[in-house]
């Protein structure tokens, strides 16, 4: 007898770490939108330092944008500045609890840091927003493993 399963719902024990980046952000100034576009172009060319500078400039224009805060938190975290990135991500979720990027990014960062309760909380909120996302389901499942034993 052959077992039936949904390949998209399988959970691995390998942490999915790609961060979510926003290409647009509602309620930001036109100048911030232009800077966001430039930041994402630099990011697409794998120029993290330049992208970070543009995200920072965009945040100066629209400092309370959860989308911009999430992007800045994600790129700083990806560059190894986890504590600084976490600060931006926490502010993003305070401003918009339904910001899937910030919830996923913060949950994944907390999971990678071994802060399981926080990871479960933020990844659970991301899951409430999108139950079909493979990376969200994967990382949330890992956070609930006994002892969160996984491969980084």
pLDDT tens, 100-118? 999 999 999 999 888 999 9
Contact 103, 76 (CB under 8 A): no
pLDDT tens string 56-95: 999 999 999 999 999 999 999 989 999 999 999 999 999 9
To the question of pTM greater than 0.75 for the whole model, the response is yes
So what's the pLDDT on residue 3? 37
- Residue 144: strand, helix, or coil: coil
pLDDT tens string 30-66: 999 999 999 999 999 999 999 999 999 999 999 999 9
What DSSP designation does 14 have? B
So what's the pLDDT on residue 35? 98
Cα–Cα separations (whole angstroms), residue 17 to 6, 14, 64, 72, 74: 22, 9, 25, 16, 10
Q: Which two tokens stand for residue 39?
A: 């930041």
What DSSP designation does 17 have? -
So what's the pLDDT on residue 19? 83
So what's the pLDDT on residue 139? 92
């Amino acid at each position: 007898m052959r077992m039936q399963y949904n390949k998209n719902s399988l959970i691995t024990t390998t942490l999915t770490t790609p961060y979510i980046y926003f290409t647009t952000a509602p309620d930001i100034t036109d100048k911030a939108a232009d800077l966001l576009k430039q930041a994402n172009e630099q990011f697409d060319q794998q120029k993290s330092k330049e992208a970070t500078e543009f995200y920072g400039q965009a945040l100066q224009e629209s400092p309370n944008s959860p989308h911009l805060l999430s992007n800045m938190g994600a790129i700083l975290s990806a560059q190894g500045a986890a504590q600084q990135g976490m600060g931006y991500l926490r502010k993003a979720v305070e401003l918009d609890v339904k910001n899937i990027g910030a919830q996923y990014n913060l949950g994944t960062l907390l999971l990678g840091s071994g802060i399981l309760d926080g990871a479960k909380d933020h990844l659970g909120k991301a899951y409430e927003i999108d139950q079909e996302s493979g990376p969200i389901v994967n990382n949330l499942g890992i956070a609930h493993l006994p002892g969160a034993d996984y491969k980084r």
